[in-house]
Amino acid sequence: MFQTLTAAALTGLVTGVGAFPFFFIRQLSRRAYDGILGLGAGLMLAAATLGLLHEALEGVNRASGLDLGRLVLVVTGFLAGVLVASVMDRLIPHRHARGHRHHIAPGYRNEEAHDQRVEIRQSYAIVGALSIHRIPEGLAIGAGFASGHGSRLGWLLVAAVGIQNICEGVVMGAPLRLSGVSPSRGLLVVVASGLAIPLGALVGHGLSSWTVITLPLILALAAGILIYVTSNEIIPESHSHGHEGAASAGVVLGFLLTMLIGAVLR
């Protein structure tokens, strides 16, 4: 458990690496921003499919035949993860980072869009939305370390989520800096958002270790959440500004990078 919490905490803290460049620059080009979002999307998709789902399906095909019970657990967990992410998306007010669709917190008025206080509030809403996504990332890491196999899956997820968090640090740091938040305060806010990952890891590890039968369920649950969030939030956002090529290249690079990390850890 100590190893899981330490790895998850470090994964959350590296978010600050993405926000650090804004001590020296005020904004990024939109193309670079979308490419970074795409990179994060590729990392999450690969971690969910090559890591979590692959591990969840381990043992479904046995010499004695198909293990229908485990397969049902995996499918149930995956669909439950998608449902949980969908409910979170609908019920928790948040705002995308100038994206495809806005979820506006109560009381927001469009005519105030140029007011600096509103811009700061919008920036913090973006940070809040991305912080919510950290919980399933932590859940995935906790379940990964509970899966055994020398914690290979856990370290794969730590590497993929850690790089993804650096990308998200950029995504959170950019609007904060642009809205007038000081670099030091922006860095503090971004780093603090990563504290949700150890919490999620604690829950994921605990649930997965509860009984052997729950492990494929939790692994598939985490995969479902990550895939839904990536397809519903990150990819549409990265394709909303005319830089689809850069965003798609980022997705491919992120997927390839996770493949290479998995090969090294095997």
H or E segment to which residue 66 belongs = strand 65-66
Domain spans, the chain: 2-62+69-102+128-265
Distance CA 57, CA 71 (A): 7
Distance CA 257, CA 266 (A): 14
Distance CA 40, CA 60 (A): 30
Radius of gyration of the chain (CA): 18
pLDDT at site 125:
58
pLDDT at site 17:
83
Alpha helix ranges (H) inside 29-180: 30-46, 54-56, 68-91, 116-146, 152-178
Distances (CA, A) of 234 to 192, 210, 220: 21, 32, 20
Per-10-residue mean pLDDT, the chain, length 266: 77 81 77 86 88 82 75 91 83 51 38 50 58 73 71 80 82 73 79 79 71 76 87 84 88 90 79
Q: Which long-range contacts (CB under 8 A, 24 or more apart) does 128-131 make?
A: 128/94, 129/92, 129/94, 129/95, 129/96, 129/103, 129/233, 130/168, 130/171, 130/172, 130/193, 131/193, 131/196
* 172 conformational bin, left if phi > 0, alpha if psi -120 to 50, beta if neither: alpha
Distance CA 198, CA 3 (A): 11
